[in-house]
Amino acid sequence: MRARFSVIAVFAAFLVAAPAVARGAPESFADLSQQLLPTVVNISTSQTLKPSQRNVELPQVAPGSPLEELFKNFSGPKSNLPRHVTSLGSGFVIDPSGYIVTNNHVIEDADQITVMLNDGSSLPAKLVGRDDKTDLALLKINPRRPIPSAHFGDSDRARIGDWVIAIGNPFGLGSTVTAGIVSARNRNIDAGPYDEFIQTDAPINRGNSGGPLFDMGGNVVGINSAIFSPTGGSVGIGFAIPSNLARDVINQLRQFGQVRRGWVGVNIQPVTADLAEGLGLPGPVGALIGNVTPNGPAARAGIRTGDVITAFDGKKIPDARTLSRTAAGTPIGKTVTVDIMRNRRPMSVRLTVQRLADPPAKPQRQGPPAKPRKTSQLGLSLSPLNGSTRATFRLPGSIQGVVVTDVMPDSPAEEKNLRAGDVIVAVQDQMVRTPEDVQRRIDADLRSGRKVEVLLVNRAGALTYVALRF
């Protein structure tokens, strides 16, 4: 009886699921592999390290110690000679004339780049251009005759569960084919500002970097770039740059030798659930403006700190990373409509996108904490900005507000990573100049029943919103 029930249950489940008929696994990947293997290449690079680049201070060992024999090989007369370092990776041909796509980290700092074609022939390669923000690079070889090439597909059409195959040069073994499925999409692994990786369980190992991820139509839907692995080998979690992101980058590298990205002149941050509640927003959607560059496109359009961008050039903005990618991919000089929420009211502005220039990195400035004067219910010890606190935390005169001098353990402030040297500029969009200003605002919000306090914080010159729950 139990067996009969199981059969009926399975049959019923089949009937319910019948409208979503899944395609079965292919009988073989052989025909597709035979077609695509000639488009994939192995890449080897060499770099000459000068003694100053590789000198390491060795530990002192007593004469006759068992470690003496181990370390003497590193400190002999040859230590002052240059050393050649080689590395291996993968790539694929996108033009029969010899243009090849790979990862930037495969060829970065290389003195020489050599490409080995599938037929075993090797050719020197020239770097056309590279982009460290997306980890992509474009090479050029000069073959005697046209060579087989692959073409980019539409990565937006790759669905979770679709079959894919990866071809590359794992561990320097040579052209190797592996298969799997698309495990997830739009993964952010903090590799760069425009992360939206395709995750796959197709085995990817060291040396696969720069190789293609193909769909079952033979289209490149991703460039294999990273793995998550506690062992250094494949554990079924690999990441590929989507072809729709890579295509535009590669086209610009081919045309200009560099990538020209759009810029609107704002610093943005995600809208968390706490921030949405504190700002009176309907939900954690959009990109919150933390800072507006003076005289930049956003400033000229009237965008302000505290605005939340919900759409850009007709495209919905569900989160901050989507805005970064969308703005960067907008043609320079194009005027677009930007939808924002300001003080809980929707409005639209028009701005003209300019070209992004990489600014110099600003060093983090920290100093020893000053003596606390005032402690809030949020777990913050605060002091006014004066000559002493500015000197302690190296804060310029252009920064105004109240400086954090200490953060209590296990407090709401510690949970949100506030630290000594941060400057509170505003509380619930009200500017503050003294610890008493902060405390008065907090006391009033507690009396009114508010559960989340939103602070505008200046850290090393960058503004960001922080939501602290009472």
Check if 410 is active-site: no
Distance CA 325, CA 242 (A): 13
Catalytic residue among 44, 87, 90, 209: 209
Q: Which H helix or E strand runs over 469?
A: strand 462-469
| Burial profile 290-300: b = 16 or more Cβ within 10 angstroms, e = fewer | bbbeeebbbbb
Strand ranges inside 428-461, DSSP E: 430-431, 452-459
- Comparing CA positions, the residue from 259, 317, 266, 320 lying closest to residue 133 is 259
**Do the annotations mark residue 28 as ligand-binding?**
no
Is 376 assigned a catalytic role? no
Distance CA 138, CA 250 (A): 7
The answer to whether the annotation marks 209 as part of a ligand binding site is yes
Which residues have CB under 8 Å from 55's CB, separation 6+? 79
373-399 exposure pattern, b = at least 16 Cβ within 10 A, e = fewer: ebbbebbbbbbbbeeebbebbebeeee
Distance from C-alpha of 149 to C-alpha of 129, rounded to nearest angstrom:
19
Is the distance from CB of 265 to CB of 296 less than 8 angstroms?
yes
Catalytic residue, chosen from 105, 307, 339, 381, is: 105
Task: Give CA–CA dist 168/171, Å, rounded.
Answer: 10
Residue from 90, 131, 135, 183 carrying the catalytic annotation: 135
Query: What's the 3-state SS for 298-339?
Result: HHHHCCCCCCEEEEECCEECCCHHHHHHHHHCCCCCCEEEEE
- Only one residue has tokens 């400035």, namely 365
- Judge whether 135 is annotated as a binding position: yes
In whole angstroms, how far apart are CA 34 and each of 27, 31, 40, 43, 304?
15, 5, 11, 20, 56
Is 105 marked active-site?
Answer: yes
Would you name the residues annotated as active-site residues? Answer: 105, 135, 209
Annotated binding residues for substrate, as ranges? Answer: 105, 135, 207-209
Annotated binding residues, as ranges? Answer: 105, 135, 207-209
